[in-house]
Amino acid sequence: MLRLRRHVPLLAGAFIHAILLVTLFCWAPEPRYLAQAPLLYSIAALWGTGSSLNKTGISILLGMLYKKKERQDFIFTIYHWWQALAIFTVYLWSGLPMKAKLSIMLLTLVVAVGTYLWMERKVAQHVEVRLPRIPRPRHKMHGYRYLEDSSDETGSDGDGDKEDDDKGSAEAASRNELPKEDGEQLG
């Protein structure tokens, strides 16, 4: 089995993206010139390779730093929120010249790699990790199911007695069972 250190995919993806950004900064394809099509397709394939390495590396890193499931849900939500905000910003600035966009992307890449290497150094020095505070949910949680306070399910508001809870759980268990095969069903 091939084992790589966790920084290898992230730095490889960043390196691929940096090479492609510099290439696109120095070279602009001519419209409707089919001889450049193989080069454009190879740039697109390399960009996808770099993105897959970066996303895999970030997922590994977030999973390593935040081991509790409820923290991972929160952190991955924040990660995808920032990703959506970045996509929105790119569309908002669609009027910028291409060289300005490439410069912003290259600057962002350099800052991201620098902060990642700084974080790796802190992890190697066993510096105490400060975890962000997770807001408490406003709903009662049962696994991945969120129930509102005004729910009409038995026992959801916490003031039902034990007999009602037992009846409700027995009814819920019988509703959740799969129907038996034709030969096993009774009457």
Domain layout of the chain by residue ranges: 7-124, 140-177
Cα–Cα distance for residue pair 67/184, rounded to 1 Å:
45
CA-CA-CA-CA torsion sign (20, 21, 26, 30) = positive
Burial class, 9, CB count within 10 angstroms (exposed 0-12 / middle 13-18 / buried 19+): buried
Q: In the predicted model, is pLDDT for residue 185 greater than 50? A: no
Cα–Cα distance for residue pair 91/94, rounded to 1 Å:
5
For 91-149, the pLDDT digits (tens) are 888 788 888 888 988 999 999 999 999 988 888 888 876 766 767 767 666 655 555 55
